[in-house]
Amino acid sequence: MRVSRLDHLVLTVVDLEATVDFYTRVLGMAVRAFDGGRLALRFGDQKINLHEAGHELALRARLATPGSADLCFVVEDPIDGWLEHLAEVGVPVVAGPVPQTGALGPMTSVYFRDPDGNLVEIASYAG
């Protein structure tokens, strides 16, 4: 018995609109409504379900708190291009580019924060 992949994760957020704007505009994710209006951010074969703080589902993390996540997304475009993109869309870089070790080995990462203060890492295995 073993896990094969991550299907989705859940972020508890203060402002759904600000979160959707950030992840679609900055990271190119697609927003999808499901189950009567709940929102998810789709990318590749995964998604991030969004719970609005104070309106979370009954089945949730014990301490569902905005700003407590640390997320890493693998990107295919060069990190230099991402640095330019982040500057263009007004997202300050917290750290990077820096070498890191990911699930598949060495990678280069850049860090920034989403509207709730979650740490967002984009990582490239190229070069």
Helix, strand, coil fractions of the chain, as percent rounded to 5: 15, 40, 40
What residue ranges in 69-104 does DSSP mark as E strands?
70-74, 95-102
3-state secondary structure of 53: coil
Active site residue 121: yes
**Which of 17, 76, 84, 121 is flagged as catalytic?**
121
CA-to-CA distance for 38 and 108, rounded, in angstroms?
34
Q: Which residues are catalytic?
A: 121
